[in-house]
Amino acid sequence: MFEGNLLTILLLIPTVGAGVVAIMPGNNQRLLRTGALLVSLAGFVWAALLFAWFDSSSGDMQFVENWTWIRAGGFNVAYHVGIDGISLLLVVLTTFLMPLAVLGSWSVAKNLKAYMVFMLLLETGMLGVFLALDLILFYVFWEVMLIPMYFLIGVWGGERRIYAAVKFFIYTMGGSLLMLAGIITLYFHNRAESFDLVSIADRLAAGQIRFSPSVEHLLFLAFFLAIMGGLFYAAYKAYQGQIFKLPIVGNIAEKIVK
């Protein structure tokens, strides 16, 4: 029903908003907080509109955008984004939680401008992960999500924040390398012609792509460890109190432990 770059607009809202916040006067903390809150609310409103426009009777990807991004040396990488019922709910949840995160960190005063910029860039990465339908694009958004997290932990974390940030970097970097290895293996093992998830899924369903059990297990482990390794580590360090002072995450973790 609706055509256009609807998902790109969703991704641009926090990205452009981060740029706007970055050029705001650093000494006007009220303006920085209000600006970040308004940007996050705009993202939620747009996600709510996508939810209203979504055709729940269809099982296909919707609001799809597919443009050639990189075509060189036999590699075909596309800016391919789309949304289904599951990813739609995750997108709405992400945009709903972001204004709450901004409000929950209203008391942050240290390097406030950088903090709000990183929060908005973090939202861009999270949304991109849920929308990406190309494995390389997914990987890029995954890295975009991890970089702000590193700085948020390292600058605004608890007493051992540097230690926690370095360990977070090591764990997530190792996981990212595993994920990249899995993506490349998936591409070359079956000469997939592209990194397009929809195309790969269709070929799997048609029996055009086949994996041995050992390759299936290795691919599963690569993606599982890449995605869950950093999450488990962050939860463990939150339990130990090393990132308790990270707004929202730290406060919730501290209450759970108590």
Q: What is the 3-class SS of the chain, one letter each residue?
A: CCCCCHHHHHHHHHHHHHHHHHCCCCCCHHHHHHHHHHHHHHHHHHHHHHHHHCCCCCCCCEEEEEEEEEEECCEEEEEEEEECHHHHHHHHHHHHHHHHHHHHCCCCCCCHHHHHHHHHHHHHHHHHHHHECEHHHHHHHHHHHHHHHHHHHHHHCCCCHHHHHHHHHHHHHHHHHHHHHHHHHHHHHCCCCCCEHHHHHHHHHCCCCCCCHHHHHHHHHHHHHHHHHHHHHHHHHHHHCCCCCCCCHHHHHHHHHC
Of the candidates 138, 148, 127, the residue with the CA atom closest to the CA atom of residue 10? 127
| Per-residue model confidence (pLDDT) at position 167 | 78
Distance CA 230, CA 173 (A): 9
Global pTM? 0.84
| Per-residue model confidence (pLDDT) at position 243 | 47
Distance CA 196, CA 176 (A): 19
pLDDT less than 70: residues of the chain: 1-3, 73-74, 190-193, 229-258
Distances (CA, A) of 57 to 6, 8, 100: 20, 23, 31
Distance CA 49, CA 239 (A): 37
Tokens matching residue 144 = 């975009």
Residues in CB range of 65: below 8 A, 6 or more apart: 5, 7, 8, 79, 80, 81, 82
| Per-residue model confidence (pLDDT) at position 255 | 40
Tokens matching residue 29 = 């903390």
| Per-residue model confidence (pLDDT) at position 192 | 60
| Per-residue model confidence (pLDDT) at position 229 | 67
Distance CA 41, CA 27 (A): 23
